[in-house]
Structure 1
């Protein structure tokens, strides 16, 4: 008789939940990386705008052109601040996904431990059953052999 775990459907469900949590974490980490790259690009654009302003300072500039540079840099600063908040929020989402994966893994391990205990109990029962069968076979053979000896001598 083969081992059959009574909670196998629950274990399968917990395994699928863990896999879903793992995939969610991977998606959220990828999203966080995209957000960080966007923040880095904004920083690069800000540095380029400052470099362009520094290069233009040597030339005669109107007040409007100077204001344009300052507005561009201020806009990039505001966009960078918004992006920093977005990155921070995504980091929280990643942490939440990590906790979700840890909980799913813990739930699966609990059921797996139950399965291991049930399997060990089943294996012990199987060994006892097999030992009992062997004992019965030995008893039957010994009993038959004894009766043959008793019948042949008389």
Structure 2
């Protein structure tokens, strides 16, 4: 009996590798999105604190120059928050794209796995048929040999 050999084994290995690469890319995209979310949260907190300080300074009758500087800082933080929000959305879109890529790679690998299993089942069936044929041939040969021996041993009346 010959050993099973899947004719598309290289393709299956390639699909497995592509799946692993896609999983790594997804993990990296998720880490990047998490970093972007943390940066956005930190900037939003800074902007909130700056806005609170501006309101306190306004209520306390702060100097115009001080109020102007605080307003500039809050406006700049607002712009940074908007930029960080855009980066977070872009990172989330990248996560979605990497998730779709992983889904495709997973589906393609599963297809190859099913083909391999089908091919293995066919190979096993062929092996069983070949073994059964061999056993049938041996039984037929033994039966014919016994019939010949019986004819030669039995004297004819």
TM-score if structure 2 supplies the norm length? 0.88
In structure 2, what is the Cα distance between the partners aligned to 1:25 and 1:16? 14
In structure 2, what is the Cα distance between the partners aligned to 1:134 and 1:23? 52
What count of residue pairs does the alignment treat as equivalent?
Answer: 154
State the partner residue of 1:140: 141
State the partner residue of 2:101: 100
The answer to whether the Cα contact below 8 Å between 2:57 and 2:67 also exists between their aligned partners in 1 is: no
Describe the superposition over 1:95-141 as per-residue Cα deviations: whole angstroms up to 9, x where unpaired: 22122112222222332232223222212211210110110121122
State the partner residue of 1:21: 22
The answer to whether the Cα contact below 8 Å between 2:22 and 2:102 also exists between their aligned partners in 1 is: yes
Q: Which moved more, 1:77-86 or 1:134-143?
A: 134-143
State the partner residue of 2:115: 114
Describe the superposition over 1:24-51 as per-residue Cα deviations: whole angstroms up to 9, x where unpaired: 0110011001101110111111122223
Please list every run of at least 4 consecutive aligned residues from structure 1 whose deviation after the TM superposition is greater than 6 angstroms. Answer: none
Q: Which moved more, 1:90-99 or 1:74-83?
A: 90-99
Alignment of 1:80-99 (within 5 A): 80-99=81-100
State the partner residue of 1:5: 6
Structure 1 vs Structure 2 CA RMSD = 1.7
In structure 2, what is the Cα distance between the partners aligned to 1:7 and 1:38? 47
Unaligned runs of 5+ in 2: none
In structure 2, what is the Cα distance between the partners aligned to 1:9 and 1:43? 51
